[in-house]
Amino acid sequence: MLTTATLSPAAIGDALRSTGYLPSEGLSTVLFLAIAMHRPLLLEGEPGTGKTSLAEAWATVTKAELIRLQCYEGIEASQALYDWDFARQILHIRAVEAAAGDDLDASALEESLFHERFLLERPILRALRSPNAVLLIDEIDRADDEFEAFLLEVLSTFAVTIPEYGEVRAATPPMAVITAREIEIIRSRLPDVSAELATQVAYAVQRIRASDDILKPPGVAESLDWARALERLGYEQLDVASAAETLGAVLKYREDAERVRRALEAILTR
């Protein structure tokens, strides 16, 4: 049984292998750091490369509840967080009105509508309230920038505020595994972009997103803009020179572009 005292990359690797999942040494190390630092683990790759299987294996190892949020175009925060059981609220109103008659206290009735029993947990809220959970956020790159920003805020504090209910803060932060298929999206939207260039763009954007001092981390739309700009200019690969010339397509703030330009060599070194 893994504990905080025995947690190490080697121990994580052994535990995952016991479930039939075969991690590389690098993946075990990255997972160890994500757990130790309470940070989400971002996995990028083509379908079938084991991204979802890792979350399932880790939930098995830790005997955690596996909670999955499938992202899609147009998904909104409310669909991932919570909702109110409208049908039960209506029945409650009718029951209270029938029982109270002329003595109905409208303020008390309104307050009672947002009781725990009417709250419908969606995946994010369920994970925050679970004592032991692995939160699998699948294909985050299908969502828009606003939803990505919402998720980043939740996963940085492991807390949300529901206006009618109050703050919900995780007593034990869930292990968050986020999967993306950015390379596939770039290739499908921009078929003239080579596999090599799409891979390089996706990797570089991930490195930029991981930087703590970026004012506006680029989303998938910016990845597509960058790949399109490089392809239109005739570049077949992303290097320091081509990246420096096209940074305006992926970074919207001058301060961000200057920071990344100074760090281009490190960002483009795999």
| Burial class of residue 19 in the structure, from the number of CB atoms within 10 Å of its CB (0-12 exposed, 13-18 middle, 19+ buried) | middle
Provide mean pLDDT across the span 69-87.
91
Q: What are phi and psi of 131, to 5 degrees?
A: -75, -15
Tens-digit pLDDT profile for residues 32-62 = 988 888 888 878 765 666 788 899 999 999 9
Check residue 134 and give its pLDDT. 95
Instruction: Measure the CA–CA gap between 142 and 77, rounded to whole angstroms.
Output: 14
Check residue 25 and give its pLDDT. 85
Q: Does the residue 152 lie in any domain?
A: no
Q: Does the residue 91 lie in any domain?
A: no
Residue 64 has pLDDT above 80, yes or no: yes
Give Rg (Cα) of the chain. Answer: 23
Using the structure block, give the residue that is written with the tokens 């002329």: 102
Give percent above pLDDT 70 in the chain.
94
Residue 1 has pLDDT above 70, yes or no: no
Strand order in the sheet with 41-44: 41-44, 175-180, 133-138, 65-70
Q: Does the residue 195 lie in any domain?
A: yes
Residue 95 has pLDDT above 80, yes or no: yes
Using the structure block, give the residue that is written with the tokens 């305006």: 248
Domain encompassing residue 217: 182-270
Q: Does the residue 251 lie in any domain?
A: yes
What's the Cα-to-Cα distance from 167 to each of 18, 129, 163, 201, rounded to whole Å?
Answer: 38, 11, 8, 38
When the pLDDT of each residue in the chain is averaged and rounded to a whole number, the result is: 87
Q: Does the residue 118 lie in any domain?
A: no
Provide mean pLDDT across the span 124-133.
95
Q: Does the residue 241 lie in any domain?
A: yes
pLDDT-derived band of residue 3, with 50, 70 and 90 as boundaries? low
Using the structure block, give the residue that is written with the tokens 């007593």: 171
Q: Does the residue 246 lie in any domain?
A: yes
Number of domains in the chain: 1
Check residue 232 and give its pLDDT. 93
Long-range contacts of 194-202, Cβ-Cβ distance < 8 Å, separation of 24 or more? 194/236, 196/236, 196/237, 197/227, 197/230, 197/231, 197/235, 197/236, 197/237, 197/238, 198/227, 200/237, 200/238, 200/268, 201/226, 201/227, 201/230, 201/238, 202/44
Check residue 106 and give its pLDDT. 80
Instruction: Measure the CA–CA gap between 180 and 123, rounded to whole angstroms.
Output: 18
Instruction: Measure the CA–CA gap between 21 and 98, rounded to whole angstroms.
Output: 58
Tens-digit pLDDT profile for residues 210-268 = 676 788 878 778 889 999 999 999 998 899 999 999 999 999 888 888 888 888 888 78
Q: Does the residue 203 lie in any domain?
A: yes
Provide mean pLDDT across the span 153-168.
90
